[in-house]
A and B are shown apart, each in its own frame.
Chain A
Amino acid sequence: MAVMKTTRGVKGVGLAIPRPDGPEKVTGQVLYVADIKPKGMLHAKLLRSPHAHARIVSIDTTRAKALRGVRAVLTARDIPELKRKAPTRAHALLAIDRVVFAGQPVAAVAADELAIAEEACDLIDVRYEVLRAAVDPLESMQVGAPPVADAGTEADTSEALAHSGVAVAKTEAAPTTAVNIAQQIKLGRGDVAKGFALSDVVIENTYRVPMVHQGYLEPHAVLAQWDENGQLTLYSSTQGSFNTRSEVADVLHIEENRIKVIPVECGGGFGGKIRALCEPITAILARATKRPVRYVMTRREELEAGMPAPQVIIKLKTGVKRDGTLMALDGETVIESGAFSGAVLTMSAVFVSSVYQFPNFEVRAYEVLTHKPSIAAYRAPTAPHTFFAIDSQMEQMALALKVDPVEFRLRHLMKEGDPMANGQPWQQNGAKQVLERLAAHPLWKSRAAWKASGGKDGRGLRGVGLALGGWIPGLQPTGATVRLNPDGSLQVLTGQVDIAGTNIALAQIAATAYGVDTDKVKITTGDTDTAPMTGLSAGSKTIYTVGTAVMQAAQDARRQTLEIAAKEMEAAVQDLEIEDGKVVVRGVPDKGVTLASIGKKGNLYMSKVPPVLGVAHPAFSQQAPAFAGQLARIEIDPDTGQTTLHDFVVVQDAGKAINPLGVEGQMQGGAVQSLGIALTEGLMYDDKGQLMNASLLDYRKLTAADLPNIETIIVEVPSPAGPYGARGVGEPPIVPAPAAIANAIYDAAGVRLTEAPLTPERIALALLAKNGDGTSGA
């Protein structure tokens, strides 16, 4: 990096500093849950339903219990906490008398060895009466579909609240007798019918993105252990130890201070490890056996019975006048939540009608239950799906009007203060700067030449496409402490689960705020017994919220330090500065008091100097929208429909890149997940609700060989409230690729695809249909 000094002249915010735990990560020393094995530990295994919808006629565990090495076999009747109408997956520990998705746990086993637990599951005799399953969400939302939830189950909106904080004030829910519609909202403004009547071009499409798995490499894992005093310790792969503690306490009906959640290294979450999944049943097995019990899901279980992202179907109609004036938008969003409610319903409905200015719009959104595993968050939940629809639509309108697609978007982009669909004003953001930077890219400027070079000399069809995507990061109160050590170094404590390398960025913030170099800062992630209450590592809010807490705690510690020094030096606090590990009078760098001496006195027998302890525990109200734009340069084989990605560019507004290494990593990783949704991924179900691609061979994630290098361009439009202007960076880069790729495919081949993934088969079929002569050639 060119910048070597930052604010206060210390090595802190803005530098590309490698994470200090890198060596542990590259030598295999970092411990994940499955790597921890206390003495006497048992292995857990869950027997899961093979049917998507069935009545449990009987369960016989006699033979399983008789197997040597088996320590517990539990069914629903063994668990007093278990109730009908479970509001979440975590509460639905084991099926009671009806299974509602293939893969739902029916019985739980703990045994000396995993192989014994597996064998015991085979020995459990369950008789099912198979029932008709609701598999397709559009059918499931009709009156008369087989019911998924128990009658009277309430919709779960906690995920939406935790993740996005975008509230919908006006909700008009039409009464319905369709039992599988868990939630519905309607948003609107103006006169939609009149808007369409005055439109010269009306475009209507149905966009569909199937369920996808978050794809973290480490499957869900938990280790549960009770002590003699009834204290439960959970080693968990979680994105938020305090949230996990609350959920487990709620399910087990015990006080939160009887549970200690130790957030072990998390091998990826992306939203899928926010909610508790297997913690409660593992804790109950440990209670039943009085032994530590470890449960690690298999990959097949992850794919069949994890908590994937929902399928989203968006029917979208937009109208525009010949002069380019947007007139009307009509949308219907169906979010398929699987067997339990929990969709972020508002985000899709708000985004589809809020990013570009439509004077007249109506959006109806439905959360629909089906007999599939229930969903959870996945990095900007439903935003990739929603921008796939709206940014494909914007592109088509621009092309129909023969205007530049970037200019068209820029002209209609909402600005600061404009009302979103829910009435809230847009906060200041960098969407415009992102689009402008993308449009200035040489690959965009040279797109005509690239396209013209395709289709000859044995080359495929060539094209370039781009799209915008954004997210409104979440907020959550959070705490941090900063201590001054007796040697003058700093000690930062939060409960923040560091998945991607956020702790180094937090250390940089502490360094800059206090006035020491980052290498003088140690940051620790504490467990729920020791750390101040800390929010989730989710919602693109770690740096924005926990970073603020760390900054304020470091400022507090700095103030205390200066006050102690002021007394000693008989100087005024406002004349003091921290330089090179000393408190000095500004302009007199030779004389001063070292931080070490101040720190030492805070821990000296009979000392009257208090130890420096900076504390901050802010709550937040101002969100900072964050946008990314992506550009793809592709080539399509007209015979096979195979897409080759030649180049891929991500432009993103980070507000202020606290650590550019980490920001680039988020942009690159997010982009490839976005490309996965665009090109290859999707959980595929048959008409009985059986998953057909339950392995990583069949569920295709992108590999290094499928991809070009991801070019990253960081734009910095400082946020008004974030630490040093930072914005959330985790979620925006997963949003744009489906639309960017669809737009590139249209540019290359003249076919418009609206159903993801945009597979070779779909492209080839579209080419055949377009040419109408049975050939797919250009």
Chain B
Amino acid sequence: MAKLVLRCTVNDEPIEVLVQPYVTLLDALREDLGLTGPKEGCGTGDCGACTVHLDGKPVASCLMLAMQARGRRVRTIEGLAGADGLHPLQEAFVRLGVPQCGFCIPGVLMAAAAFLAENPKASEEEIRYGIAGNLCRCTGYTKMLAAITEVAGSLSAKGA
């Protein structure tokens, strides 16, 4: 099959890459662009490990074709930290000892970042539902929720 040209923005950089028309966005990111932060845990949109932002919204990158990202803004875990260091969620995850095996973490962070961007004052109970699409097998979610809730508190304090 002839490859197609995908032009879009990934982590604020304009990119142009040849992709097979049948590859998913996840595979294009991982195999063609070398961005292996997003993970494939199931390939069917059930685990959330492949979560990236598309125009700021969280999507399961294993469930969409790469070409559907044409002309749009994609952000992966590699682009979550800013020039001045880790995103507050990343900092809290490290400090509170959230990651164990770490495989789910990129997806959880992208889901949580998108959720807090829309709901900066979210309560812990709301955050539970905000990350319910992301499976984690190691942590039991407790430390994860503490970290996200702490950041939500500080973001809402800043916002107020």
Q: Are B140 and A18 in contact (CB under 8 A)?
A: no
Q: How far is the CA of A270 from the CA of B137 in the complex (A)?
A: 9
Least distance between A305 CB and chain B CB atoms (Å)? 15
Q: Are B106 and A669 in contact (CB under 8 A)?
A: no
Q: Are B128 and A696 in contact (CB under 8 A)?
A: no
Q: Are A216 and B137 in contact (CB under 8 A)?
A: yes
Q: How far is the CA of A27 from the CA of B102 in the complex (A)?
A: 10
Query: Which of A28, A217, A269 lies in contact with B47, CB distance below 8 A?
Result: A217
Residues of A within 8 A of B128 (CB): 704-705, 707
Q: Are B22 and A115 in contact (CB under 8 A)?
A: yes
Choose the segment among A31-39, A141-149, A601-609 that binds chain B (4+ C-beta atoms closer than 8 Å). A31-39
Q: Are B42 and A695 in contact (CB under 8 A)?
A: yes
A30 adjacent to chain B (CB < 8 Å): yes
Choose the segment among A364-372, A394-402, A659-667 that binds chain B (4+ C-beta atoms closer than 8 Å). A659-667
Least distance between A26 CB and chain B CB atoms (Å)? 4
Q: How far is the CA of A309 from the CA of B152 in the complex (A)?
A: 39
Residues of A within 8 A of B10 (CB): none
Q: Are B99 and A710 in contact (CB under 8 A)?
A: no
Chain A: CB-nearest residue to B94: A22
Q: Are A218 and B39 in contact (CB under 8 A)?
A: yes
Residues 16-31 of B, flagged 1 when their CB comes within 8 A of A and 0 if not, give 0000101000000011
Q: How far is the CA of A266 from the CA of B137 in the complex (A)?
A: 13
Q: How far is the CA of A696 from the CA of B143 in the complex (A)?
A: 23
Query: Which of B76, B86, B106, B141 lies in contact with A707, CB distance below 8 A?
Result: B141
Q: Would A669 and B140 be within 8 Å (CB), given that A35-B36, A696-B44, A704-B131 are in contact?
A: yes
Tell me whether chain B's interface is mostly helix, strand or loop, or mixed: loop
Q: Are A26 and B90 in contact (CB under 8 A)?
A: yes
Query: Which of B37, B129, B139 lies in contact with A669, CB distance below 8 A?
Result: B139
B13 adjacent to chain A (CB < 8 Å): no
Query: Which of B38, B131, B132, B146 lies in contact with A28, CB distance below 8 A?
Result: B38
Chain A: CB-nearest residue to B149: A709
Tell me whether chain A's interface is mostly helix, strand or loop, or mixed: loop
Chain A: CB-nearest residue to B36: A35
Q: Are A26 and B99 in contact (CB under 8 A)?
A: yes
Residues of B within 8 A of A705 (CB): 128-129, 132
Q: Would A668 and B139 be within 8 Å (CB), given that A22-B94, A115-B22, A704-B131 are in contact?
A: yes
Residues of B within 8 A of A26 (CB): 77, 86, 90, 93-94, 98-99, 105-106, 109
Residue of B78, B129, B143 with highest tally of chain A CB at under 10 A = B143
Q: Are A217 and B136 in contact (CB under 8 A)?
A: yes
Q: Would A671 and B140 be within 8 Å (CB), given that A16-B97, A216-B101, A217-B101 are in contact?
A: yes
Q: How far is the CA of A500 from the CA of B78 in the complex (A)?
A: 22
Q: Are A668 and B140 in contact (CB under 8 A)?
A: yes
Query: Which of B49, B81, B99, B143 lies in contact with A19, CB distance below 8 A?
Result: B99
Q: Would A27 and B86 be within 8 Å (CB), given that A217-B136, A697-B46 are in contact?
A: yes
Residues 488-510 of A, flagged 1 when their CB comes within 8 A of B and 0 if not, give 00000000000111000000000
Query: Which of A269, A672, A697 lies in contact with B140, CB distance below 8 A?
Result: A672
Least distance between A630 CB and chain B CB atoms (Å)? 12
Q: Are A499 and B100 in contact (CB under 8 A)?
A: yes
Q: Are B77 and A27 in contact (CB under 8 A)?
A: yes
B43 adjacent to chain A (CB < 8 Å): yes
Q: Are A115 and B41 in contact (CB under 8 A)?
A: no
Q: Would A501 and B100 be within 8 Å (CB), given that A28-B37, A37-B31 are in contact?
A: yes
Chain A: CB-nearest residue to B125: A705
Q: Are A32 and B100 in contact (CB under 8 A)?
A: no
Residues of A within 8 A of B131 (CB): 703-704
B158 adjacent to chain A (CB < 8 Å): no
A265 adjacent to chain B (CB < 8 Å): yes
Q: How far is the CA of A205 from the CA of B30 in the complex (A)?
A: 52
Residues of B within 8 A of A671 (CB): 140
B117 adjacent to chain A (CB < 8 Å): no
- Count of residues in B whose CB is under 8 Å from the partner chain: 58
Residues of A within 8 A of B42 (CB): 299, 695-696
Q: Are A668 and B143 in contact (CB under 8 A)?
A: yes
Q: Are B90 and A23 in contact (CB under 8 A)?
A: yes
Q: Are B101 and A500 in contact (CB under 8 A)?
A: yes
Q: How far is the CA of A298 from the CA of B27 in the complex (A)?
A: 14
B8 adjacent to chain A (CB < 8 Å): no
Residues of B within 8 A of A706 (CB): 132
Interface residues of A in 246-270 (CB under 8 A from B): 265-270
Residues of A within 8 A of B145 (CB): 704, 709
Q: Are A31 and B36 in contact (CB under 8 A)?
A: yes
Least distance between A537 CB and chain B CB atoms (Å)? 11
Q: How far is the CA of A665 from the CA of B137 in the complex (A)?
A: 11
Q: Are B102 and A267 in contact (CB under 8 A)?
A: yes
Residues of B within 8 A of A265 (CB): 101-102
Q: Are A669 and B41 in contact (CB under 8 A)?
A: no
Q: Are B41 and A219 in contact (CB under 8 A)?
A: yes
A629 adjacent to chain B (CB < 8 Å): no
Residues of A within 8 A of B143 (CB): 664-665, 668
Interface residues of B in 50-80 (CB under 8 A from A): 76-78, 80
Residues of B within 8 A of A113 (CB): 20
Chain A: CB-nearest residue to B90: A26
Residues of B within 8 A of A500 (CB): 100-101, 138
Q: Are B138 and A115 in contact (CB under 8 A)?
A: no
Chain A: CB-nearest residue to B132: A705
Query: Which of A25, A115, A218, A707 lies in contact with B99, CB distance below 8 A?
Result: A25
A432 adjacent to chain B (CB < 8 Å): no
Q: Are B94 and A23 in contact (CB under 8 A)?
A: yes
Least distance between A666 CB and chain B CB atoms (Å)? 8
Q: How far is the CA of A34 from the CA of B115 in the complex (A)?
A: 28
Chain A: CB-nearest residue to B20: A115
Residues 95-138 of B, flagged 1 when their CB comes within 8 A of A and 0 if not, give 11111111111100100000000000000000111011111111
Q: How far is the CA of A707 from the CA of B142 in the complex (A)?
A: 9
Interface residues of A in 1-51 (CB under 8 A from B): 16, 18-19, 22-23, 25-32, 34-35, 37
Q: Are B95 and A218 in contact (CB under 8 A)?
A: no
Chain B: CB-nearest residue to A296: B40
B144 adjacent to chain A (CB < 8 Å): yes
Residues of A within 8 A of B36 (CB): 28, 31-32, 34-35
Q: Are A710 and B93 in contact (CB under 8 A)?
A: no
A183 adjacent to chain B (CB < 8 Å): no
Chain A: CB-nearest residue to B131: A704
A460 adjacent to chain B (CB < 8 Å): no
Residue of A35, A266, A696 with highest tally of chain B CB at under 10 A = A696
Residues of B within 8 A of A662 (CB): 97
Q: Are A27 and B41 in contact (CB under 8 A)?
A: no
Least distance between B155 CB and chain A CB atoms (Å)? 17
A65 adjacent to chain B (CB < 8 Å): no
Least distance between B67 CB and chain A CB atoms (Å)? 15
Least distance between B3 CB and chain A CB atoms (Å)? 12
Q: Are B101 and A695 in contact (CB under 8 A)?
A: no
Residues of A within 8 A of B43 (CB): 298-299
Query: Which of A34, A269, A299, A709 lies in contact with B142, CB distance below 8 A?
Result: A709
Least distance between A18 CB and chain B CB atoms (Å)? 5
Least distance between A217 CB and chain B CB atoms (Å)? 4
Q: Are B137 and A18 in contact (CB under 8 A)?
A: no
Q: Are B137 and A23 in contact (CB under 8 A)?
A: no
A673 adjacent to chain B (CB < 8 Å): yes
The 8 A-B pairs with the shortest beta carbon distances in the complex, nearest first, are A28-B37, A267-B103, A668-B140, A22-B94, A661-B97, A696-B46, A35-B36, A672-B140
- Known contacts A18-B96, A27-B78, A29-B78; 8 additional CB pairs below 8 A are A18-B97, A218-B41, A218-B101, A219-B41, A266-B101, A665-B139, A670-B140, A705-B129
> What are 7 contact pairs spanning A and B, CB under 8 A?
A18-B97, A28-B36, A29-B78, A34-B40, A299-B46, A704-B131, A705-B129
Footprint of B on A, CB under 8 Å? 16, 18-19, 22-23, 25-32, 34-35, 37, 113, 115, 214-219, 265-270, 296, 298-299, 499-501, 661-662, 664-665, 668-673, 695-697, 701, 703-707, 709-710
